[in-house]
Structure 1
Amino acid sequence: MQIKENSFLVTGGASGLGESVARAIVYQGGNVVIADLNESAGQALVAELGDSTRFVRCDITKGDEVQSAVEMAESAFGGLQGSINCAGIVVVQKLLDRDNNPADLESFSRGVNVNLVGSFNVARLVAASIAKRIASDGTAGEHVEKNADQGIIINTASIAAFDGQIGQASYSSSKAGVVGLTLPLARELARHGIRVMTIAPGVFATPMMESIPDKAREQLEASVPYPKRLGAPSEFAKLVTHIIDNAYLNGEVIRLDGAIRMV
């Protein structure tokens, strides 16, 4: 699938990995609906990138808000060809605290709800939009026979899905759930010509990382075998654009982590 003249929903698109993805798509001639809770950052990015972008304030756990983002893409750009879901949160808590009190269940559930349920919510509504567009143009079935890409859904997991550390029970399990979505969704959506992929990034230089102490950042960088640095959001965006372009990538999870393995 080409990016030029196609339209994509990017959740978490106002900063970090999502912002880089939005920029990369626009620079390659595509259209982007930026969905994020940070309205000021989202509007500023739209003002910078121009007419090929729109912003909608969106909580990915809410069906009506994601549907509004999908409908904005349909009305502004004539349809939707895919989504890149970068929205997510990190919940850190041990199962038991120092006094052996149990972890807060609501905090655990919130992480799973945003990272896993939110990913599913975006995927279901984007897939429905693409499938209905195909059905309405009378080419249902033909595109699959001709191996013509009709859509792409890219989710964001984490290496924590595989290398979860102490205190990451909510984050690791929610991201492992995103990994688990990949193949069944790819198999189901194959009949529509819609591919499903997941990226599992390692430690990246996002706004969240800017808040950690310098010493902790240096330790993280040293733990990456090569290159010994945090990943650049632009490198995540390059992988996204390659996945969109490479039609044989489907139903797979790609680690993007400099060979780091968390212990």
Structure 2
Amino acid sequence: MLIPHLRIVLVDTSHPGNIGAAARAMKNMGVTELVLVTPQQFPHPEADARASGADDVLAAARVVATLDAALADCVLAIATTARTRHLSAPVLEPRAVAEHAVATLAEGPVALVFGRERTGLTNAEIDRCNLLAHIPTNPGYSSLNLAAAVQVMCYEARLAWRAQQADAAAGGSARAEPLATAEELEALYAHYASALIRIGFLDPDKPRHLMRRLRCLYHRAALQRNEVALLRGILSAVEERKQPGSKCGPRPPRRGDGNS
């Protein structure tokens, strides 16, 4: 039984054998969608050899130039990390992450994002994700092979998927409103930055951590599409009131406001 819409994203993988081994780990657990962001060597015979029967996963893999391209249509993106990050998204262990990911699959694609073998994901790449997944390895020897990390996450996803299927068969309910995609959230954050600069709240030369804090806030909120539209409508109204000649103060009370 395959897990639909669950996407494994490998960023800047240096060793082609790791790509093949990750594909094998995916297929073991019924995950077939693989996206590679700027792999250093792919296609490659060693990737094919290490796939060991998962050649179809490799053949269907998409290669893209940016992480944004890999995540554009995703409603949830989860970054895997070996360490916690300052001002990052919420950090969960694999089982909790998998349960959340699988519960969201009905809304659209969900991505599990894995970084470079030596250095992992950058802070900017982490910022593109809603959650962080941390595998609690032995502190005395925490290094985990890329394919092994993919195996752990896909295994937990399979357990969660089986539990969800059983719940659905028993009459479980679906989410009422669709979640916003990564592309829609990035547009919201760009709109926020533009509006905050316009009203003088954000100094583009000294942004500090303002936009990262906003990202964390909304990642925790799991925004729906209609909520993103609402927020962008508010931002547009704020921008309009800051146009030359517009009145930026509060509107005068009107009859019926309860201020008489």
What TM-score, normalized to structure 2? 0.32
Larger radius of gyration: 2
TM-score (ref. length: structure 1):
0.32
